[in-house]
Amino acid sequence: MNNILNQIGIENYIFLSVILFCIGVFGVLYRRNAIIVFMSIEIMLNAVSLLFVAFSTYHQDAEGQVFVFFSMAVAAAEVAVGLAILVSIFRNVGSITIDNLKNLKG
């Protein structure tokens, strides 16, 4: 069976993931809307997942793909908890702008 990486190259997947990851990082830094920030984190996780799959193909090994399941579980759990926190903040403050969270400082 032909390895698909012969046509694309693992480097390209790495670059893709890295850039995607960096976009995620950028999003976390750039946006102040908590939901968008969450989404950015999801982008980061997805970038890594993509790389996992690429490496899984690279090694012709199933473990990488199995790990993606775990990463999905983690992502789901994080989103659940994160949104729960967000909701409770929203109930208290009425806003989800993370810049407003500056009471703790110094």
Partner 1 sequence: MNTNLSLLLLLAPFLGFLINIFFGKSLGKTVAGIIGTLTVAVSFAVSLYFFGQITASKEPIQIQLFDWIQISNFKVDFGFLLDQLSILWLLFVTGIGSLIHLYSISYMHDDEKMHTFFAYLNLFVFFMITLVIGSNLLVMFIGWEGVGLCSYLLIGFWYKNQEFNDAAKKAFIMNRIGDLGLLIGIFILGMLFNTLDFSTLKIGISGATDLNMYWLSAAAFALFIGACGKSAQIPLYTWLPDAMAGPTPVSALIHAATMVTAGIFMITRMNFLFDLTPDVQSIIAVVGAITALVAATIGLVQNDIKKVLAYSTVSQLGLMFLALGLGAYEVAVFHVITHAFFKACLFLGSGSVIHALGGEQDMRNMGGLKKAMPITFGTMLIASLAISGVPLFSGFFSKDEILLVAFHSNIPLWLIGSIASIMTAFYMFRLMFLTFFKEFRGTAEQKHHLHESPSLITLPLIVLAILATVGGLISLPGNSWLNEYLTPILPKLATAAHHLGTTEYILMAIAVVGGLIGIGLAYAKYIKQDSIPAEDAAITGFSKVLYNKYYVDEFYDAIIVKPINVLSGFFRDTIETSLSSLVFGLGKVTNEISFQGKKLQSGSIGLYLFAFVIGLCAIISYLFLAQ
Partner 2 sequence: MINIPDFANASAVQIIFCVLAFITLLTAFLTIYSRNPIHSAIYLVICFFSIAGHYFLLNAQFLAIVHIIVYSGAIMILFLFTIMLMNLNEKKEVHRPRITRLGAIVSFVLISLILIAIFINSKPIVGEYTSTGEDYQSIKVLGKVLLNEYMVPFEFASVLLLVAMIGSVLLSKKEKLEK
Partner 3 sequence: MNTLIAIIGLGVLCLLLEIFNLTKAIVPLTIVGLLAVLGLTISEFNSTESYYNDMIVVSKFSTAFSSLFIVLTIFLVSLSHNFYEKHQSKISDYIAIKIFLLSGAVAMVSFGNLAMFFLGIEILSIALYVLAASDRLNLKSNEAGMKYFLMGSFASGIILFGICMIYGAMGSFNVSDIAAMSQSAELPIWFPIGIVLLTIGMLFKVAAVPFHFWAPDVYEGSPTITTALMSTLVKVVAMASLYKLLSVMNADISESFKIVVVVISMASMTVGNIMALRQVNVKRMLAFSGVSHAGFMLMTLLSLSTSAGSLLYYASAYALSGIAAFSVIIYVCKNRDNEDIVNFHGLGKNNPLLAAILTGSLLSMAGIPIFAGFFAKLVLFSDTIESGYLVLVIVAVVNSIISVGYYFKLILAMYTKEPNEERKATPFVIYAVAVVAIVLNIALGLFPSTVLDLLV
Helices (H), the chain: 5-8, 10-30, 34-59, 63-93
Residue 43, number of CB atoms within 10 A of its CB: 19
Shortest distance, position 87 Cβ to partner 2, whole Å = 6
Residue indicated by tokens 């830094």: 29
Residue indicated by tokens 């702008």: 97
Shortest distance, position 100 Cβ to partner 3, whole Å = 9
Point out which residues bind partner 3 (CB under 8 A).
Answer: 10, 14, 21, 24-25, 28, 34, 37-38, 41, 44-45, 47-48, 51-52, 55, 58-59, 61, 63-64, 66-67, 70-71, 74, 77-78, 81-82, 84-86, 88-89, 92-93, 98, 101, 103-106
